[in-house]
Amino acid sequence: MTRVTRLITAAVLGALVLGGCSGENGGGQASASASSTGGQAGTDGGTYAVITHGAPGDPFWDVVKNGAEGAGKRYGAAVTYQGDGDPAKQAQLIDQAVSQKVDGLVVSMANPDALRESVTKAVAAKIPVITINSGGDSSKEFGAITHVGQSEEVAGRGAGEKLKAEGVTKLLCVIHEAGNVGLDQRCNGATATLGGTVERLQVDVSNLADATSKIKARLQADTSVNGVLTLNPAIAVAAREAIADGRSKAKLATFDLSADVVDSIQIGQILFAVDQQQYLQGWLPITFLYLYKNNLNIVGGGLPVNTGPGFVTKDNAAQVAELALEGTR
């Protein structure tokens, strides 16, 4: 079997495995810092560092981590995952990976300006970079070879259209982290298509009790608010409790998945979740970097590779729940 044939066969087998794990169309956020190592160190598949703004333990980012480590095992590559919600610390992790001369970097950019210097240094050191999840608008400018994720504004537009169809006319868009450009883009998209009023509420994802209290207080202060859109699964659960405790009739929808969110969709407490298929945001970049290292393939042609948006609704939530048990949704 020729070298190129082996590479193509590995990629096809990886796609088949992924297809069996993830059958629906699809950021979460965490503030803690942690790292873990997967893959098979010492093999010839390469060494790749995944550095995000979400740490292990966050239900969204754990699925990204699973995808990256799963791809590493498939291709015989050593993959490390590290995350920190502090952009300055995230930049330091990128610098460390560059000093270790990894074969490729995967970086999420919730705060692109804070990471510009570190990412461009990696590119200058001839380390291929793929951005994921957030910061797609800056990806090409910083020298990354492609971006893997979803258009947050397009996803927000889709959410706004679905909420409008459900009769929502005044929406509370809950932002759980200041300075995250992707969250603003989601609210912007919903504003563009709802056809009603959209108000933003700032909460802190690291203090869910306070988030519940703030959402409840806002709904009680203005009973004309008949819709809530959260941008994180943990905040969705907080909003669910706020709506119940405040006896509000507001309809709830969210971005991204967790077991609680899927359960709530099944019983009608949450209308839908915008799904960006975060498993793909871990798996695909490692696949692309492996092919770049071994065959100089570049995927995307200068355009982002979209993993969403899709929607998890009551119609497909049961299927997604089964896949979530495997850590792929």
Backbone angles phi, psi at 254, to 5 degrees: -145, 170
Q: Give me the pLDDT at residue 43, please.
A: 58
Q: Give me the pLDDT at residue 259, please.
A: 86
Task: Determine the CATH number of domain 152-275.
Answer: 3.40.50.2300
Task: Determine the CATH number of domain 3-150+278-310.
Answer: 3.40.50.2300
Mean pLDDT calculated for residue range 194-202: 97
152-275 has the same fold as 3-150+278-310: yes
At 166-185, the pLDDT tens digits run 999 999 999 998 888 889 99
Lowest mean pLDDT among 43-52, 153-162, 194-203: 43-52
Domain-by-domain residue ranges, the chain? 3-150+278-310, 152-275
> Model pTM?
0.77
Q: What order do you get walking across the sheet with 34-39 strand by strand? A: 34-39, 78-83, 47-52, 104-108, 129-132, 146-149, 305-306
DSSP label at residue 41: T
Q: Are the CB atoms for 180 and 152 separated by under 8 Å? A: no
Q: Give me the pLDDT at residue 17, please.
A: 39
Question: Higher-confidence residue: 113 or 3?
Answer: 113
At 264-299, the pLDDT tens digits run 999 999 999 999 999 999 999 999 999 999 999 999
Q: 10 pLDDT exceeds 80?
A: no
Structure tokens at 107: 């970086």
Percentage of the chain modeled with pLDDT above 90? 77
